[in-house]
Structure 1
Amino acid sequence: MLAIPPGLDPDLLRSFVLIAEGGSFTRAAQVVGRTQSAVSMQIRRLEETLGQPLLLRGPKGVEPTSHGLWLLERARRLLALHDEIHATFRQPEVAGAVRLGSPDDYAIRWLPGILARFAASHPAVQVDVVCAPSNELVERLGEGELDLTLLSEGNEPPGARVRWLWRGPLLWVGAPEAVQRRPLPLALASASCSWRQAAIAALDAANLPWRMAYTAASLSGSLAVALAGLAVTVAMPSPLPEGLRCLGAEDGLPPLPDFAIGLMRGPGSAVAEALAAHIEEGFRLGPVAEGRERRVA
């Protein structure tokens, strides 16, 4: 008689994906609402079930083993299918339109998977996406032009209710030749951008001279300038174009603070609530990355 292999608990896989993506048990525990010890126990149970070590502590934090990398790609797909099935059978049918705001920096990295899963489970909903800087999106949400919006920490109005979806490091990014110049040439967004403010504050605290060489409306614009070797910029942990790398203390640059991505909602509607739930779940799953892409951090 053939032995039936034990099933894989989606909660264990979800915690594993969060740790493998973020490199931290602590941040994963915050996202799933458990203690760090409880998440550690989940990973031990998963490793015992599969019979292989999946995560190891390395110089850059917690990193997946070779077996962990193999599992990570498949766990993402399995969780996406699990959540799609759950949403299709448990959520009521909703129809209509919803207006979503997102900074350009997050739209390409996070929204494709989220919107694809949402369309599969809510085919009668039309999603209109508006890309703009966080401060502009928050203003448009307040004026009723958006139903919900993603935003960077530091742009939320005082007392606003924000659902924080992701927290991680802000990183210096550039070509090796640019970081040697003084004053340090920077390619950042407008003065209201919280990333720009954090970068300047870190350089000033380290007494490192800088100049604003380029102002770009989006991260893609800043990366294009950095790729030309003309300036240094900042970014979240993400795949980088060939020719750019993460810069740090070994390059003479000061550390940058962590930052968070949040979700703000206007007056509730069934459509907006459904999309908000998919966005929150999408951030718990993490962005889908192709194996050929090179990650920062």
Structure 2
Amino acid sequence: MLSIPPGLDPDLLRSFVLIVEGGSFTRAAQAVGRTQSAVSMQIRRLEEMLGQPLLLRGARGVEPTRHGLWLLERARRLLALHDEIHSTFRQPAVAGAVRLGTPDDYAMRWLPGILARFAGSHPAVEVEVTCAPSHELVARLAEGELDLTLLSEGNEPPGSRIRWLWRGPLYWVGTDELARRRPLPLSLASGGCSWRDAAITALDKADLPWRVAYTAASLSGSLAVALAGLAITVAMPGPLPDGLRALGPAEGLPLLPEFGIGLLRGPRTPVAEALAQHIEEGFELETGYETRLRA
């Protein structure tokens, strides 16, 4: 008689995915509202069902095995479909439209995963995203044109209540050859950008001559100029195109300060609050992953 294998419990797969993404049993347990021992037992059950080890504890936290990596991609797809089915056949708790602002520098780095998860859990919500410099987004929020916005530190209105989501250093990005040129050719955003101000202040304090060779409206534009070998630019930690690398004192450049990414809300509505919660959770998850990478 043909034996039918037991079905995979979505709860087991969800705990597995959360552990891999957060690098921690504790963080995953908090996300699903279970104890750490209960989540550990879930993973043991999953490994027993599949007959292969899925996770390893290493110096950087919990990491997937070869079989775990294979499962991760498929578990994400299965859970997305599971959540879509579930949300489609239930009355959505939140519906309507929400207008989110973000600097272009953060859109590709942070938002894809956040917005995808939000769409899966809130299918009746329409998200309108506006990319612009931080100071423009703050002005639009004040005018009622946005419901909430991400912004770079240094652009927050006086006395505003900011939820700071991330903090880390800025880096010079380019090539060794460009770093040796004097005056130093720069590709920066236009006036009003806190990254631009930080770069110029650091160079002036170090008494290094510089010139703004290119003005780009976005980080992708500045990276394209740097990749062409025409100027260096400033970026936050993260993946860089092949041919570029982070530069610093070893290349004769001054250290750049840390900066923060904040979330500023307008009038609170159920739709805006739901998206704000997803953004905060997404940044917390990414911050935990980066902490492991720097360990």
Tell me which residue corresponds to 1:258.
Answer: 258
Task: Quote how far apart the aligned CAs of 1:194 are.
Answer: 0.5
Residue 185 of structure 2 aligns with an amino acid whose one-letter code is P
Give yes or no for contact 1:240–1:296 (8 Å, CA) kept in 2: no
Letter in 1 for 2:264: M
Offset of residue 10 of structure 1: 8.8
Distance in 2 (alpha carbons) for counterparts of 1:176 and 1:277: 41
In 2: Cα distance, 1:185 partner to 1:66 partner: 43
Work out the CA distance in 2 between the residues paired with 1:240 and 1:267: 37
By how many angstroms is 1:67 displaced? 6.3
Partners of 1:65 and 1:93 in 2: how far apart?
Answer: 35
Distance 1:171 1:296 in 2: 15
Q: d(CA) in 1 for partners of 2:97 and 2:16?
A: 35
Q: What is the aligned partner in structure 2 of residue 221 from structure 1?
A: 221
- The amino acid of 2:23's aligned partner reads F
Give 1:35-46 correspondences, 5 Å limit.
Answer: none
Query: Is the CA contact (8 Å cut-off) linking 2:172 and 2:235 kept in structure 1?
Result: yes
Pick closer, same or farther for the CA change 1:193–1:81 going to 2, 3 Å.
farther
1:160: which partner in 2?
160
CA contact (8 A) 1:53 1:67 kept: no
**TM-score, structure 2 as length reference:** 0.72
Q: What are the Cα deviations for residues 111-154 of structure 1, in whole angstroms up to 9, with x where unaligned?
A: 11111111111111111110000000000000100000000111
1:203 aligned partner: 203
Indicate conservation of the 8 Å contact 1:239/1:296, yes or no. no
For residue 92 of structure 1, report the CA deviation from its aligned partner: 6.1
Change (3 A) 1:187 1:143: same
Are 1:14 and 1:284, in contact at CA under 8 Å, matched by a contact in 2? Answer: no
Q: Which residue of 2 aligns with 1:103?
A: 103
Instruction: Tell me the amino acid that sits aligned with residue 274 of structure 1.
Output: A
1:141 aligns with 2:148: no
CA distance in 1, matches of 2:144, 2:55: 53
Pair 1:202–1:95, CA change in 2 (3 A) = same
Residues in 2 aligned to 1:231 and 1:117: alpha-carbon distance in whole angstroms: 37
Classify the secondary structure of the residue corresponding to 2:204: helix
Deviations 1:190-230 (A, max 9, x none): 12100111111111111111111111111011111111111
Alpha-carbon distance in structure 2 between the residues aligned to 1:52 and 1:283: 24
Paired position in structure 1 for 2:128: 128
Unaligned runs of 5+ residues in structure 2 are 1-11, 31-39, 45-53
- Using the alignment, how far apart are the partners of 1:110 and 1:240 within structure 2? 15
Aligned to 1:177, the other structure's residue is in SS state helix
Shift of 1:16: 3.1
Structure 1 position 177, deviation (Å): 2.0
8 Å Cα contact 1:174/1:226 also seen in 2: yes
Matches of 1:147 and 1:66, distance apart in 2 = 38
Report the Cα offset of residue 55 of structure 1. Answer: 2.4
Cα drift, residue 66 of structure 1? 8.9
Distance 1:254 1:74, change over 3 A: farther
Separation in structure 2 between the aligned mates of residue 175 and residue 51 of structure 1, nearest angstrom:
38
Instruction: Give SS of 1:129's match.
Output: strand
In the other structure, the counterpart of 1:178 is 178
Counterpart-to-counterpart distance in 1, 2:132 and 2:113: 20
CA distance in 1, matches of 2:294, 2:109: 13
CA RMSD after TM alignment: 3.9
Residues in 2 aligned to 1:144 and 1:177: alpha-carbon distance in whole angstroms? 47
Aligned residues: 252
Letter of the structure 1 residue corresponding to residue 58 of structure 2:
L
User: Which residue is equivalent to 1:114?
Assistant: 114
1:176 deviates by: 2.4
Which residue does the alignment assign to 1:267?
Answer: 267
For 1:162 and 1:124, the matched residues in 2 are separated by: 27
Q: CA deviation at 1:14?
A: 6.7
1:101–1:209 distance in 2 versus 1, CA, 3 Å = same
Q: Which runs of 5+ in 1 are unaligned?
A: 1-6, 18-27, 33-44, 57-62, 290-294
In structure 2, what is the Cα distance between the partners aligned to 1:230 and 1:276? 39
Q: What residue is the counterpart of 2:23 in the other structure? A: 16
Contact 1:190 1:217 (8 Å CA) reproduced: yes
Separation of aligned partners in 2, 1:136 and 1:244 = 29
